[in-house]
Chains A and B, each alone.
Chain A
Amino acid sequence: MKRIISALIALLFFFMIVTALNSDSSDSMGIPRYGEVKLSERVSAKYIEKSVNGNEDEINFGVTVDAETGSANMVTSIVVNYRSFDTLGEVTVLFISATGVGLLLGGGRKRIGSVISVSPVVKTASRVIAPLLMVLGIYVFAHGHLTPGGGFPGGAIIAAGFLLLVVVDDEKRASKGLKILEGTMGLLYVFIGIAGLLISGSFLSNFLPTGVVGELFSAGIIPVVYSIIGLKVGAELSGIVDDFISEGGDEV
């Protein structure tokens, strides 16, 4: 009975949404039809042309010097330049969540042993693979302004490397330095914001020269901020993994 009612409610919701999607959306109300979006009517057109401050010139890859954000990846230019304040809030949410996990589960110094036996071949191989994964993570966040990816995926890849080490090794624990790294990186992000406030008058503004679009050393503070985010997210997610494998009790 309960399942039937749930299914009915879910179906009702689905048909409501389908009706809304099929309704006439010629005016500005409603959801635009799939694929028929006019970007020139949206604020995103300014983000693509990097013309929020009124610059009308075309942006050319590898040619344009000192464009507004200088980031070839437009999503990155939104995440850590135009809307960097949102990202600061996002990082704060992740930090609070990691702290909450530590509060609920942590405190135990003894870790839960593996339930499966791992063969020596797998153990040795993962000691080779895990550092490579971490290097890949660093590559992903250092090139966040040029290629898909950025601080959050890079951090997740680093944490995946840590998870691999934890799964194969019964003794592996996160070092205390991770918590310090996490806090320091959060503080550095705020300091960069305050530096922007002091130098060019608005919080988290891009105060460094942005260079040629498409080069590794370009885009001003974007690679710096994304490296900070990458290290912070990597440390945070590794800390969450570490909290989940620790049990209560004080034995060392």
Chain B
Amino acid sequence: MIQYFSMMLVAVGLYGLLSQKNLVKLIISLNIAEIGVNLFIVSIGYVEGGAAPILSSVSDNSSLLFVDPLPQALVLTSIVIGVGVTALALSLIVSVSKSRNTIDITELSSGGGDSE
């Protein structure tokens, strides 16, 4: 179920990337798709009845059933890189809107907006 839901999020993000014209909305679509992919990768490592992969006073033995920690570690990397991409893209949008006074991609490609 969660796998279908995460893929639905990716499809929503894909729809946004294809149909939107506002640059900020494109970034939002990219982030939605990214969340879907991250959820999907974590769900691949789920083991029925498994505990969170942390040894504690509750689950104190390595022979107990745990979920797969490797996808979680990879998703941690993916989230951080997503933050970097989003920050850089937003700063590009800020500088584009400063120089062209528009963030609509059709106006940008047709040379519209007030170029200084």
Q: Show the binding face of A for B, using Cβ within 8 Å.
A: 2-3, 5-7, 9-11, 13-14, 17-18, 21, 31-32, 34-37, 39, 42-44, 47-50, 58-62, 72-75, 77-79, 83, 86-87, 90, 93-94, 96-98, 100-101, 104-105, 146-148, 150, 152, 213-214, 233, 237, 240, 243-244, 248
Contact = CB atoms under 8 A, between A and B. Distances in A.
A17 B14 CA distance: 13
Interface of A is mostly: helix
Given A104-B95, A152-B76, A17 B7 contact: yes
Interface residues of B, number: 52
Given A6-B15, A97-B87, A78 B69 contact: yes
30 contacts: A5-B18, A6-B14, A10-B12, A39-B47, A44-B45, A47-B69, A48-B53, A48-B66, A59-B61, A60-B60, A61-B59, A62-B57, A74-B54, A74-B55, A75-B53, A78-B69, A78-B70, A78-B73, A79-B73, A79-B76, A86-B77, A97-B84, A98-B87, A100-B88, A100-B91, A101-B87, A101-B88, A148-B54, A233-B80, A244-B94
A104 B94 contact: yes
B77 to A, nearest CB: 5
A35 B46 contact: yes
Given A50-B62, A94-B80, A61 B57 contact: yes
Interface in B23-67: 43-48, 52-57, 59-63, 66
B38 to A, nearest CB: 14
A158 to B, nearest CB: 14
A44 B57 contact: no
Given A3-B19, A78-B69, A105-B91, A32 B44 contact: yes
Contacts of A44: 45, 68-70
B55 A214 contact: yes
B3 interface: yes
A42 to B, nearest CB: 6
B80 A90 contact: yes
B84 A93 contact: yes
A61 B61 contact: yes
Contacts of A74: 53-55, 66, 69
B72 interface: yes
B105 interface: no
B53 A37 contact: no
Given A36-B48, A105-B95, 4 more contacts: A7-B15, A32-B44, A59-B62, A62-B57
